[in-house]
Structure 1
């Protein structure tokens, strides 16, 4: 078998072996059988919350075990195709087999990164806050584009997306917004997106069609479940109610149903306006605040472990994690990992997995490019 195919086969076998060890196939298969038996119990859905958690666990195990079987089956099919092509002198068939091996390798490596999502809250749902930065109307429009980008990314993964809060810009776009993304490992995948995002483009708001640079920030933190107890003293908080902004119909814009909570010791501010009921918005805002405080504690631990300063930074020059250049050339570059895409339109339509995988791999394995240069 040709050298390229042999190399791909070895890499795939290595990835699959790591996945098998990480999953512990024997115990996972046994656990899946237990969950299947429980789901057939007539009383299974008596406690809907517990039942849903068990069903999510079952779906996850089915997916991971099924992926291993799929990789092994496709690997054998590709090897057979390459060998038959070489035996019969059919170069097209041999190349088709090599292409199949490359696809299996890419998916196995992606699964390998996903298997490393073992942080305390990696499996949880996640909040993504977006704020416009330096640049006025330009940055508000850029924040709106980021909001759509993360919504599209979530939809690609079949996650559920809810808009918790949105504050429109004065002329266009948004000043801020908060998304709630629900799905297995939603936080684990999205957590490396926190930081400042920089856009370079010809401004649609400039009659002279000049190039502008805009900034917006994303802040990602996990939804916390009942197992995580975060105590918040109400005396440490200021609670404001106000009239909701943006779309929502007559009622939402004519009553003070929106709720903003400021945690004075930390300076954290959260807001919710998605419900007509002030009571429901208040409950959601408290949950968001507990989640932010929990995320802050996780960040503190990581900072101590890695001996780095992980505090939030100003939204502007010198603090960006990624640059999106639409003019005079087209490129998106992550300034932490060096990962590059030459198709900004696809990235802005939610094609973020490559960036996320590179960031996750860097967190796990350390290192990164020797030198990461910014792009103009």
Structure 2
């Protein structure tokens, strides 16, 4: 006997998909695809490699977004037919198959629905994430590396390209800090809810007495700057140092002064870049990240000023936003949303979609509450 009331759930699936399609604005999406296809067909497209890659990537992502909606429409139609056949033939196996497909469609719709909540000015951008080890010594450095692996595994599951831009290794184990980029539609909007202080509680593998250790790591998420953004930086405000890259590297990486450390003197913001082979490439990459951080700082200052004028002194993010507990029990808990996961290893393996979804829904709720 079916555990899902398909007579109610299938219309609900259709209604949810229609709402998503309305928010997505399929007419605008189709117009965007047509424009990008025209640009991609230009014979001189690859004369500008950077622009060509940008156009190709944007076209691929836009087509994928439309394809997801088209495929879900077909899957709901097929599900309805499957349920009808199962009922006519009293076929329990087909009915169980329909229930499995229903659950899969429901999950895909939930993911698309969350995407419609990402309407911030920079939510569509690629994300630049920096993880820094905090209090906790070598355990904190190891925790920073665990978080890096978690995010890279999440991106790998999604098929999103990533690029580690700068790494500072700790002396004994783990990382002092690391900066990497995630290239995907809405990468910033999705991952921005990860910004804050993360806390790990476990039996330390570095303590020969087997004591429990609490360690911390800070995660910063910023949108990647684009050429159309206007962030003016006076060259006199920049201090640029060059040095030899550290850690494992390929040919020429550790043999020349190609790494760049860029300091914005008025704010004290520091960006290091050592992924590229040449100093010129690293300098250009560092400047983009610096512009991104200054742009986000400017927006934060404007938002803080608006809050002050409105008399709102309530902080929207606490210093500690998530705890990963491996001992004496196993749990990951987001302290803002109260969402919990009982399998920390799965989370560290990149299964963080539920945490991200809860964070996005929580943030939208906070924005609506503040607006009212």
Normalised by the length of structure 2, the TM-score is 0.88
Q: Deviations over 1:54-92 (max 9, x none)?
A: 333332332222112211111122222223323333333
Q: How do residues 106-125 of structure 1 correspond to structure 2 at under 5 angstroms?
A: 106-125=107-126
CA shift in 2, pair 1:40/1:340, >3 Å: same
Which stretches in structure 1 are left out of the alignment for 5+ residues? 313-317, 369-376
Aligned to 2:333: 333
Q: Is the Cα–Cα contact under 8 Å of residues 193 and 218 in structure 1 kept in the other structure?
A: yes
Q: Is the Cα–Cα contact under 8 Å of residues 4 and 99 in structure 2 kept in the other structure?
A: no
State the 4+ residue runs in structure 1 displaced beyond 6 angstroms. Answer: 309-312
Deviation at 1:124, TM superposition (A): 1.9
Deviation at 1:32, TM superposition (A): 3.0
What is the alpha-carbon distance in structure 1 between the residues aligned to residue 251 and residue 52 of structure 2?
A: 38
Q: Does 1:58 align with 2:59?
A: yes
What is the alpha-carbon distance in structure 1 between the residues aligned to residue 144 and residue 353 of structure 2?
A: 20
CA shift in 2, pair 1:272/1:42, >3 Å: closer
CA shift in 2, pair 1:77/1:301, >3 Å: farther
Three-state SS of the structure 2 residue aligned to 1:366 is: helix
Q: How do residues 58-97 of structure 1 correspond to structure 2 at under 5 angstroms?
A: 58-97=59-98
Q: Is the Cα–Cα contact under 8 Å of residues 82 and 96 in structure 1 kept in the other structure?
A: no
Aligned to 1:345: 345
What is the alpha-carbon distance in structure 2 between the residues aligned to residue 165 and residue 46 of structure 1?
A: 29
More displaced, 18-27 or 44-53? 44-53
CA shift in 2, pair 1:169/1:309, >3 Å: farther
More displaced, 135-144 or 65-74? 65-74
Which stretches in structure 2 are left out of the alignment for 5+ residues? none
Aligned to 2:356: 356
What is the alpha-carbon distance in structure 2 between the residues aligned to residue 19 and residue 288 of structure 1?
A: 33
What is the alpha-carbon distance in structure 1 between the residues aligned to residue 26 and residue 367 of structure 2?
A: 30
What is the alpha-carbon distance in structure 2 between the residues aligned to residue 169 and residue 365 of structure 1?
A: 39
Aligned to 2:21: 20
What is the alpha-carbon distance in structure 2 between the residues aligned to residue 275 and residue 29 of structure 1?
A: 37
Q: Is the Cα–Cα contact under 8 Å of residues 199 and 325 in structure 1 kept in the other structure?
A: yes
Q: How do residues 1-376 of structure 1 correspond to structure 2 at under 5 angstroms?
A: 4-248=5-249, 251-303=252-304, 307=312, 319-366=319-366
What is the alpha-carbon distance in structure 1 between the residues aligned to residue 338 and residue 26 of structure 2?
A: 35
Normalised by the length of structure 1, the TM-score is 0.87
CA shift in 2, pair 1:5/1:299, >3 Å: farther
Deviation at 1:7, TM superposition (A): 4.0
CA shift in 2, pair 1:224/1:118, >3 Å: same
Q: Deviations over 1:4-32 (max 9, x none)?
A: 33443243223211121122223433443
> Aligned pairs, how many?
363
Aligned to 1:373: none
Give the alignment's Cα RMSD to 1 decimal: 2.7
